[in-house]
Amino acid sequence: MGGWDDLGYYEDEAAQAEFIQETLKNISKDGVRNYLGTYGDAVDARIEHCMKEARLLLSGGFFPSSVISTVTAIELTIRFLLLRPLMQAAFLSEEWANLLTQRIASGRSANDREILPQILYFHDINLNGVKLPNGRPLWKTIIETVYSTRDKIVHRAEPISEADALLAIQCADELRNEIVMPYAKQLGFTLETTNCWQRAKSQMSGAVYNPRDPFTDKSTLPLAPELKRKG
Structural element, H or E, at residue 143: none
Q: pLDDT at position 99, please? A: 58
Q: What is the Cα–Cα distance from 85 to 27, expressed in whole angstroms?
A: 9
Mean pLDDT of 151-166: 96
Instruction: Specify burial of residue 10 (Cβ count, 10 A radius: 0-12, 13-18, 19+).
Output: exposed
Residue 27 has pLDDT above 50, yes or no: yes
Q: pLDDT at position 95, please? A: 55
From 41-45, 60-64, 214-218, the region with the lowest mean pLDDT: 214-218
Domain boundaries, the chain: 23-187
Q: What is the Cα–Cα distance from 187 to 33, expressed in whole angstroms?
A: 6
Q: pLDDT at position 168, please? A: 98
For the whole model, what pTM was predicted? 0.77
Mean pLDDT of 60-77: 97
